[in-house]
């Protein structure tokens, strides 16, 4: 039996600086910062950025669009008290305007500040669309790093973060196996995963990662059966973070009607691959946030 780990966290530009908490449902305590920030960052129209009303609205829209392009869900609109928001101001420095960005949480506290790149003062003051769009696009990458740093700080202080506890997995079952394979593989994989330091939970809503197995069989040479077992690993937002594939030639009698030791061996190898996929995804999350 062999397995082929195909684990890769689906991050911005292949594991970049995307702040994970801006995805998914943070739960009712999100506004109190018991968990990381909620899924959408609000970009209000700046009121103190040396821009006219129309230009300020245009810049807010450009900045929100640039952040979305950086895989940070953002909306240009007035912020509510429970929102995470980015407040834009600006100062004049010679012939350039320097945008300044402040990340504010739902508790009213400031969680980060960052200056943007210098912008031609005339183009900025006149609200020239190309100037505003270029400024927003340029600064979005810098802001993504700032948001990642904010997230990292919150994660490190959050006892429920993956940085501070074992990963929680929900095993959704196995399908497609002949004989008793679906039950046998499910039972054995749930026995092996906790041995590797992962915690199993009873409901998908409680899980950081969801695992399900798919078995495919087809006749092979010498009256053998080619068995393919694919363990799919998704995160809590149903994004695929990894796959472990096992291939082996077996006699049909090895898996019908009972899998027995074959299921035990497959589950042990599969659990190792799943652990690797989860560990890679978790490390990429924490390293990306830092």
Kindly list the domain boundaries of the chain, sorted by start residue: 2-12+166-289, 37-157
| Pairwise CA distance, residues 272 & 266, whole Å | 10
> Torsion over CA of 269, 270, 275 and 280, rounded to 10 degrees?
110
Site of tokens 């594939």:
245
The closest of 158, 205, 208 to 32, measured between CA atoms, is 158
**Common-topology check for domains 2-12+166-289 and 37-157:** no
Radius of gyration of the chain (CA): 25
Closest CA to 148 of 286, 9, 8: 286
End-to-end Cα, the chain, rounded Å:
38
Going by the DSSP 8-state scheme, the letter that residue 166 receives in this structure is P
pLDDT tier, 288 (very low <50, low <70, confident <90, very high otherwise): very low
Give yes or no for residue 74 having a pLDDT over 90. Answer: yes
Residues 148, 180 contacting (CB under 8 angstroms):
no
Span 151-179, pLDDT tens digits:
777 766 665 667 668 899 999 999 999 99
Contact call for residues 64 and 76 (beta carbons, < 8 A): yes
Tokens, residue 261: 């030791």
Question: Residue 262 pLDDT more than 70?
Answer: yes
* Superfamily classification of domain 37-157: ABC-type transport auxiliary lipoprotein component (3.40.50.10610)
Q: Is the full-model pTM beyond 0.85? A: no
- What's the pLDDT tens digit per position in 99-121? 999 999 888 889 899 999 999 99
Q: Over the chain, what is the mean pLDDT?
A: 83
230 with 274: CB under 8 angstroms?
Answer: no
- Cα 190 to Cα 85, 201, 264: the distances in Å are 42, 10, 11
Options 3.30.160, 1.10.8, 3.30.565, 3.30.70; CATH of 2-12+166-289: 3.30.160
Measured between alpha carbons, how far is 172 from 166 in angstroms, rounded to an integer?
19
Q: Tell the residue number behind the tokens 């291939």, with chain if given.
A: 247
């Amino acid at each position: 039996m062999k397995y082929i780990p195909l684990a890769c966290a689906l991050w911005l530009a292949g594991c970049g600086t995307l702040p994970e908490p801006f995805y998914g449902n943070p739960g009712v305590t999100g506004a109190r910062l018991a968990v990381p920030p909620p899924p959408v960052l609000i970009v209000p129209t700046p009121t103190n950025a040396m821009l006219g009303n129309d230009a300020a609205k245009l810049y807010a829209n450009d900045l929100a669009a640039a952040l979305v392009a950086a895989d940070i869900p953002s909306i240009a609109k007035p912020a509510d008290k429970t929102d995470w928001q980015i407040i834009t101001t600006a100062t004049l420095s010679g012939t350039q305007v320097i945008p300044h960005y402040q990340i504010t949480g739902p508790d009213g506290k400031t969680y980060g500040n960052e200056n943007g790149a210098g912008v031609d003062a005339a183009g900025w003051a006149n609200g020239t669309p190309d100037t505003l769009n270029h400024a927003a696009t340029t600064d979005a990458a810098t802001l993504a790093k700032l948001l990642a740093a904010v997230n990292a700080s919150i994660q490190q202080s959050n006892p429920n973060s993956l940085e501070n506890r074992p990963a929680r997995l929900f095993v959704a079952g196995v399908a497609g196996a002949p004989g008793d394979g679906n039950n046998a593989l499910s039972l054995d994989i749930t026995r092996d995963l906790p041995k590797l330091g992962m915690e199993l939970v009873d409901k998908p809503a409680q899980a950081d990662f969801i695992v399900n197995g798919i078995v495919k069989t087809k006749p092979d040479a010498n009256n053998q059966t080619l068995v393919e077992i694919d363990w799919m690993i998704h995160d809590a937002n149903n994004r695929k973070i990894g796959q472990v594939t096992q291939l082996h030639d077996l006699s049909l009698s090895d898996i019908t009607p009972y899998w027995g030791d074959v299921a035990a061996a497959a589950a042990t190898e599969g659990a190792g691959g799943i652990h690797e996929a989860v560990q890679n995804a978790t490390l990429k999350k924490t390293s990306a946030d830092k």
